[in-house]
């Protein structure tokens, strides 16, 4: 059984989508740990209520190396096949990333490489793009710059606010994240340079 460790910092709606896909039998995996760097994250309480193993590992006041060492120790104890970042608001160190080669994925609410970093939906609105979307990518040391696994496109409407655009993108996030995770777990994708190539499926 494929073992997922899910890292969150907040609401946890992508975590819920992944859990839902597992429960419906669409994703052959098990969530072996949910970690939040913010003890007050709503997603942590939700996960505990679902009976998922949870760990609150506060990052406040800790340096990046120090925090990632603690995170690695927690993850190593549950031997994840894939580390899933789902709204985890911290940059991971090179040491952490090297510990799980091609085993860390993230979702970002824009069509990367456009609008990396914080407030991607606001950046898209301010830039005036007509289309935005979301991107699932492998995690490398550079923020939001790893090889792209899957993308979905959504239109930007003239009357959109940051919230309305974020909500439209989120629907697609919840659809493609479990799908992309399944693709990786089934070994259906390999890297050629920075291009992710489908090998079967």
The set of catalytic residues is 108
Which spans in the chain are helix H? 13-23, 42-49, 64-76, 94-99, 120-127, 162-185
Task: Give the sheet arrangement for strand 104-108, strand by strand.
Answer: 54-56, 29-36, 2-8, 82-85, 104-108, 131-138, 148-155
Q: How far is the CB of 174 from ligand GRF (least distance, A)?
A: 8
Look at residues 88, 96, 8, 103 and name the one whose alpha carbon lies nearest to residue 52. Answer: 8
199: three-class secondary structure by DSSP = coil
Q: How far is the CB of 192 from ligand GRF (least distance, A)?
A: 26
Give the Å distances, CA to CA, from 170 to 13, 173, 184, 192: 9, 5, 21, 29
Per CB under 6 A, does 13 bind ligand GRF? yes
Q: How far is the CB of 87 from ligand GRF (least distance, A)?
A: 3
Q: How far is the CB of 182 from ligand GRF (least distance, A)?
A: 18
User: Does residue 20 contact residue 31 with C-beta atoms inside 8 Å?
Assistant: no
Residues 49-88 that bind ligand GRF (CB under 6 A): 86-87
Per CB under 6 A, does 107 bind ligand GRF? yes
Choose, by CB under 6 A, the member of 80, 109, 146, 182 that binds ligand GRF: 109
Q: Which is nearer to ligand GRF, 88 or 100 (CB)?
A: 88
Binding mask 125-164 for ligand GRF (x = CB under 6 A): ---------x------------------------------
Point out which residues pair with 107 in neighbouring strands: 136
Tokens of 2: 């494929």
Per CB under 6 A, does 10 bind ligand GRF? yes
Q: Which is nearer to ligand GRF, 79 or 161 (CB)?
A: 161
Q: Which residues bind ligand GRF (CB under 6 A)?
A: 8, 10-14, 43, 86-87, 107-109, 134, 173
């Amino acid at each position: 059984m494929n073992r997922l460790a899910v890292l969150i910092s907040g609401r946890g709606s992508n975590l819920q989508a992944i859990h839902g896909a597992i429960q419906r039998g669409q994703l052959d995996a098990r969530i072996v740990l949910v970690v939040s760097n913010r003890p007050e994250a709503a997603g942590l309480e939700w996960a505990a209520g679902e009976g998922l193993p949870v760990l609150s590992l506060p990052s406040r006041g800790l340096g990046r190396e120090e925090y990632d060492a603690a995170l690695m120790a927690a993850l190593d104890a549950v031997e994840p096949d894939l580390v899933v970042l789902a709204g985890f608001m911290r940059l991971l160190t090179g040491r952490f990333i090297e510990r799980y080669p091609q085993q860390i994925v993230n979702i970002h609410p824009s069509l990367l490489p456009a609008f990396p970093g914080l407030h991607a939906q606001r950046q898209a609105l301010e830039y005036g793009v007509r289309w935005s979307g979301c991107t699932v990518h492998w995690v490398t040391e550079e923020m939001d710059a790893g090889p792209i696994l899957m993308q979905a496109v959504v239109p930007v409407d003239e009357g959109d606010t940051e919230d309305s655009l974020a909500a439209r993108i989120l629907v697609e996030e919840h659809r493609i994240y479990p799908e992309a995770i399944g693709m990786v777990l089934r070994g259906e994708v390999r890297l050629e340079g920075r291009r992710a190539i489908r090998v079967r499926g």
